[in-house]
């Protein structure tokens, strides 16, 4: 009998050491693409969500305690790239949790999120290598745990997970990354800017996967997607979603113009 995708996803999620998590993520993704893992129809319920596998460092602090540094110095650019690397490391865990936690979905759902896990692992590796070129390593700077905290809050609902992680937290990256690329280039850091450009292009597809499966859940539950999304944002995100929005990227990622207008109205 072929091994279970759910078991493999749980294993990847639990790995603490970054290099091993990356290695196993790519191995499992390749095995799934090759048809070597099955999606069991009668799988036991997932374990309650807990702390994912992550190294002892970086030290996790409150968001307001993460120091803000300018991009004019090597140290500042390293701290910025470290923050992005931390997001990507969390995103590997988020993708594997989306595979592991939510059962009984179409095969295409699992194909999407296994692919996202592999992409996020590749992004992390690029950022980790660039940090090394700047004389730093992952773990050298403090970080916060906001992404995983939202995963915990949405662990009981695939609909809420798709709405609030890809379509709120990860979509924020679509808005802010272009400006960061400009700032990096302005400080002569073409190598870092090129990595962020690649990540931005691929993150559009990741947010689009969130949009696709959010709409799938809404259709299954007889909910109007835009109304439900705005309701969930009101309920879960204090102050709404901050603009300005990267409209071309968000539209490509499955948002609609009326939805963006409704999000902007939440800020008023």
Q: Enter the DSSP assignment of 73.
A: S
131-134: long-range contacts, CB 8 A cutoff, minimum separation 24: 131/78, 131/81, 131/82, 131/85, 133/191, 134/74, 134/77, 134/78, 134/81
Tokens 């036991």, located at residue: 44
37-48, pLDDT tens digit by residue? 999 988 889 999
Confidence of residue 239 (pLDDT cuts 50, 70, 90): confident
pTM > 0.85: yes or no: yes
Confidence of residue 22 (pLDDT cuts 50, 70, 90): very high
In a 13 Å sphere around the CA of 62, the CA atoms on its Cβ side amount to 2
Decide if pLDDT at 1 tops 80.
no
Cβ atoms of residues 67 and 83 within 8 Å: no
Decide if pLDDT at 143 tops 90.
yes
CA distances from 214 to 76, 112, 244 (A): 37, 13, 23
Residue 83 CB neighbour total at 10 angstroms: 18
200-209 mean pLDDT: 98
Give the whole-angstrom CA distance, residue 262 versus residue 268.
10
Domains identified in the chain and CATH numbers: 5-37+68-266 (1.20.1260.10)
């Amino acid at each position: 009998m072929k091994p279970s995708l759910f078991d493999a996803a749980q294993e990847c999620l639990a790995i603490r050491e970054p290099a091993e998590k990356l290695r196993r993520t790519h191995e499992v993704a390749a095995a799934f693409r090759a048809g070597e893992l099955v999606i069991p129809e009668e799988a036991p319920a997932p374990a309650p969500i807990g702390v994912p596998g992550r190294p002892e460092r970086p030290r996790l602090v409150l968001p307001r305690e993460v120091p803000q540094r300018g991009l004019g110095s090597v140290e500042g650019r390293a701290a910025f790239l470290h923050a992005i690397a931390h997001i990507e490391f969390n995103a590997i865990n988020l993708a594997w949790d989306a595979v592991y936690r939510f059962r009984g979905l179409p095969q295409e759902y699992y194909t999407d999120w296994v692919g996202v896990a592999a992409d996020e692992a590749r992004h992390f590796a690029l950022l980790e290598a660039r940090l090394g070129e700047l004389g730093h390593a992952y773990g050298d700077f403090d970080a916060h745990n906001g992404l995983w905290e939202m995963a915990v809050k949405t662990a009981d609902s695939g609909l809420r997970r798709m709405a609030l992680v890809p379509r709120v937290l990860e979509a924020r990256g679509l808005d802010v990354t272009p400006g960061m690329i400009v700032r990096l280039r302005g400080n002569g850091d073409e190598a870092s800017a090129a990595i962020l450009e690649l990540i931005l292009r691929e993150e559009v597809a990741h947010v689009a996967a969130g949009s696709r499966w959010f709409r799938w859940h809404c259709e299954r539950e007889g909910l109007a997607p835009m109304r439900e999304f705005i309701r969930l944002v009101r309920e879960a995100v204090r102050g709404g979603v901050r603009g300005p929005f990267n409209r071309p990227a968000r539209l490509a990622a499955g948002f609609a113009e009326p939805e963006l207008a409704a999000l902007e109205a939440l800020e008023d």
